[in-house]
């Protein structure tokens, strides 16, 4: 397959995966040429998959990748068999850019320095992002590299949503509500276009989950905060938690920052309720078999999302449309129905509830094309 000379590569890294897409401009919008992913990074059961735009598998093999840069090297080498032109740009999804990087933009040495200075705000995300960017700059040395920030969509939040209830100097230091999953929400706004109603609540539900109030196409509040740990209950993350719990654990069990970080990000949420299981499909199966821990996990997840939807209905004085996206949001009828049960008083009839697939890579390609112009 030959890619045209204006191909754009997008990279979307997760905790143990690296997804990519290759796009070409068709005139009215970006057209997908190839997509794929390296899964199971850092594990012995890793895979590398590449498929064409119509879903035909071009490459599927077992592959052990110790790190994101190693996975990128393997993807780049494999793409040479299917793309015979250099890409003109590489778009990078960056989860957290800190307080000074809230707009999609070209990656410069200054941007990398600014990102490096913000590591303390997102130690789980920024170091790996920097490592991947620098590796891709070496591999795709002739391409323009562009940062697409997951926090950018939420920069429209008013002060009452962005400010945390702390002394004001912390806000000035960058301690604020940033919000995440922004590229997913942007793609939905773009997809609906003029069909997007005034008052919309969007729920991106997956291993990481968030809910956002979108008023007239702009984010005015969102459940995640300074980091993607806050908000609704998630696969392995606590969501919102009484800070007194952390103080208690520090005093009672002498947990330090690293131990607390591991607890609230990797061993809590659905996994905490169910004694280790974070996958919603497995939890639904276990609940059907009578597992009370799994039943509690699912109930807690759905309840936290439902409560947030209700809060945003109060914020916007009603909801015109509720949208589900993300792996759980798109594919689990059971979870969606449980969340929506009891929301009829808001007028949320089935015709006002929609499922819209997240298209983060496509949205990144759109941003890259715009910035290149």
- What CATH number did the domain enclosing 221 receive? 3.30.420.40
Q: Which of 150, 221, 258, 279 is catalytic?
A: 150
Structurally, the chain folds into a number of domains equal to: 2
Please choose, from the candidates 215, 233, 200, 225, the residue with its C-alpha nearest in 3D space to the C-alpha of residue 309: 200
Q: Give the residues of the chain that fall short of pLDDT 70.
A: 1-5
Q: What is the DSSP letter of 211?
A: E
Closest C-alpha among 368, 370, 373, 371 to residue 8: 368
Closest Cα partner for 330 from 372, 359, 364, 304? 359
Does 45 qualify as catalytic in the annotation? no
d(CA 369, CA 373): 7
Domain match, 136 and 274 both = no
> Residue 3: its pLDDT value, please?
40
Residue 202 falls within a domain, yes or no? yes
Over the stretch 247-264, which tens digit does the pLDDT of each residue have?
999 999 999 999 999 999
| One domain, residues 263 and 121 | no
Phi, psi torsion values for 121, nearest 5 degrees = -80, -25
- Report how far apart, in Å, the C-alpha atoms of 289 and of each of 80, 138, 284, 335 are: 48, 51, 9, 17
> Among the three residues 127, 149, 171, which one is the final residue of a domain in this structure?
149
Q: For residue 202, with 0-12 CB atoms within 10 Å meaning exposed, 13-18 middle and 19 or more buried, which class applies?
A: buried
What does pTM read for this prediction? 0.95
Please give the residue range of the domain that contains residue 246: 196-355
197-238 residue pLDDT tens: 999 999 999 999 999 999 999 999 999 999 999 999 999 999
């Amino acid at each position: 397959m030959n890619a045209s000379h204006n191909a754009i590569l997008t990279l979307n890294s997760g905790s143990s995966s690296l997804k990519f897409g290759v796009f070409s401009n068709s005139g009215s919008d970006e057209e997908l040429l190839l997509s794929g992913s390296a899964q199971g990074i850092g594990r012995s059961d890793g895979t590398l998959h590449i498929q064409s735009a119509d879903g035909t598998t071009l490459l599927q093999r077992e592959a052990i990748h110790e790190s994101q840069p190693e996975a990128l090297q393997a993807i780049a080498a494999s793409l040479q068999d299917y793309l015979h032109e250099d890409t003109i740009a590489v778009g990078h999804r960056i989860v957290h850019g800190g307080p000074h990087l809230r707009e999609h933009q070209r990656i410069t040495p200054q941007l990398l320095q600014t990102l490096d200075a913000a590591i303390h705000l997102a130690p789980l995300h920024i170091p790996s992002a920097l490592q991947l960017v620098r590796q891709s700059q070496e591999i795709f040395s002739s391409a323009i590299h562009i940062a697409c920030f997951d926090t950018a969509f939420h920069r429209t939040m008013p002060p009452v949503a962005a400010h945390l209830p702390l002394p004001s100097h912390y806000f000035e230091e960058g301690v604020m509500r940033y919000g995440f999953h922004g590229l997913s929400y942007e793609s939905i706004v773009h997809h609906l276009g003029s069909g997007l109603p005034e008052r919309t609540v969007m729920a991106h539900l997956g291993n990481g989950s968030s809910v956002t109030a979108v008023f007239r196409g702009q984010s005015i509040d969102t459940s995640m905060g300074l980091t993607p740990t806050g908000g609704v209950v998630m696969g392995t993350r606590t969501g919102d938690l009484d800070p007194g719990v952390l103080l208690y654990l520090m005093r009672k069990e002498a947990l330090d920052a690293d131990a607390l970080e591991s607890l609230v990000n990797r061993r809590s949420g659905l996994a905490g309720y169910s004694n280790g299981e974070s996958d919603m499909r497995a939890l639904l199966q276990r609940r059907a078999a009578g597992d009370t821990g799994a039943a509690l996990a699912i109930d807690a997840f759905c309840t936290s999302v439902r409560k947030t939807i209700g809060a945003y209905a109060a914020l916007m004085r009603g909801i015109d449309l509720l949208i589900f996206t993300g792996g759980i949001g798109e594919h689990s009828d059971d979870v969606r129905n449980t969340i929506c049960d009891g929301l009829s008083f808001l007028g949320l009839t089935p015709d006002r509830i929609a499922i819209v697939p997240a298209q983060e890579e496509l949205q990144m390609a759109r941003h890259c094309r715009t910035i290149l112009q």
